[in-house]
Amino acid sequence: MAASLVFTVRRREAELVAPAKPTPREVKLLSDIDDQDGLRFQIPVIQFYRYDPSKAGKDPVEVIRKALAETLVFYYPFAGRLREGPGRKLMVDCTGEGVMFIEADADVTLKQFGDALQPPFPCLEELLFDVPGSGDVLNSPLLLIQVTRLKCGGFIMALRLNHTMCDAAGLVQFMTALGEMARGMHEPSTPPVWNRELLNARDPPKVTCSHREYEQVADTKGTIIPLDDMAHRSFFFGPTELAAIRSLIPPNQQKCSNFEILTACLWRCRTIALQPEKDEEVRILCIVNARSKFNPPLPTGYYGNAFAFPVAVTTAGKLCESPLGYALELVRKAKADVTEEYMHSLADLMVIKGRPHFTVVRSYLVSDVTRAGFGGVDCGWGNPAYGGPAKGGVGAIPGVASFYIPFKNAEGEEGLVIPVCLPSDAMERFVKELDGMLKNHIQPVRGGPNSGFIISSL
């Protein structure tokens, strides 16, 4: 079983890869959406690539290192360092120092990871090594990339990004450019656009929308998830599972998207599993990409954070005791809140309130990365066998977030794999609740309900 896979990774000393040519020495301000407290962390992504016989003699480490230096000529802010100014304003000092790069070899084949490549990945901390002192938000490399050759000729490219620099769409744009350079292009097909001022606060700033996702809630009952003894599991939702959940929805709500229905289902199961008191407020935050909400839309090539965390709030009792349609309606309404005005109001709130963190107490955050495009990043060895978030539960408060990742199971069914991170006892209740809702249609992808949990140290 891949979960118990253990292997050795030999790493070279980490190095800095600088842009291949001189780049402008300047200071660039991040937007007022970029530098909010909830994005001041490192986010891990991992791409697994198969061996390609036509590439025999080509070293993926060399190809990617060289392509990285060329890509940084266009994306030179990534080669700089973040500084903080008055009012906690973040800016990039474009120093050209470079991004951190690690060359590695692992005594394992891609096949040994199993057919179902999905988080949590064994030995992740070996495949994406946290170089001591490199993970700070300020004055540290903004990207860390580790390329690990595998025994079979395949390789793994793992990457860690300072989230204030860009969102999933922006990161994929950068990775796509890296892939293009690795395949011999001389410039990215989509030129990068900075223009962070498009998402800055207005003058004077004025909050015009309700932003309950930033309410500062006291954790009076100690319900922030404990960090020790966390179970990390992935669940597959294919056509069968989605149909089973849809069957619980009244006819007038059948137009709702799979994302909305799944989110309502997971939020409810997770809340039941965590057993908050009935009168406690619980929240679901849905990440909504706002690029298309602007008129005119944000320019193609904009790689900053361009999303919001709209929230639905209810009491635990109401959520757990009402039919699924109740949670679904809340999720739908929250998503519909995001408009151009909402984004401007959000930027204004950041400036007025000192860039607060979104509410984490009794919150669950979901992010759909099915359209982000991680699965299409080709460095010359074709599309990855898996591409996307390296684990669920990332962020300043582990355990709060889940990603919806496109996935094909061993039977060839297309669906989503969703990593969930919960305390072990809550995970048992979560599986039981989910099983009940799906009338035993679903199996967690790794191991059945009684096979013992995959515990990951976060």
Catalytic residues: 163, 378
Given a contact cutoff of 8 angstroms between Cβ atoms, the answer to whether 245 and 443 are in contact is no
Q: To 5 degrees, how large is the angle CA 164–CA 165–CA 171? A: 120
Other beta carbons within 10 angstroms of residue 279's beta carbon come to 9
Given a contact cutoff of 8 angstroms between Cβ atoms, the answer to whether 7 and 70 are in contact is no
Contacts 24+ apart (CB under 8 A), 12-15: 12/102, 12/103, 12/104, 14/100, 14/101, 14/102, 14/129, 14/131, 14/134, 14/144, 15/100, 15/101, 15/102
Q: Which residue has tokens 């991680």?
A: 374
Q: Minimal CA–CA distance to 76: which of 195, 192, 199, 200?
A: 192
Given a contact cutoff of 8 angstroms between Cβ atoms, the answer to whether 388 and 376 are in contact is no
Give the whole-angstrom CA distance, residue 382 versus residue 384: 7
Phi, psi of 103 (to 5 degrees): -95, 135
CA dihedral 118, 120, 125, 130 (to 10 degrees): 90
Q: How far is CA 163 from the centre of its chain?
A: 9
Q: To 5 degrees, how large is the angle CA 19–CA 22–CA 27? A: 85
User: What's the half-sphere exposure (Cβ side, CA atoms, 13 Å) at 103?
Assistant: 13
Output b/e per residue, 127-161; b: 16+ Cβ within 10 A.
bbbebeeeeebeebbbbbbbbbbbeebbbbbbbbb
Q: Minimal CA–CA distance to 241: which of 377, 101, 437, 411?
A: 437
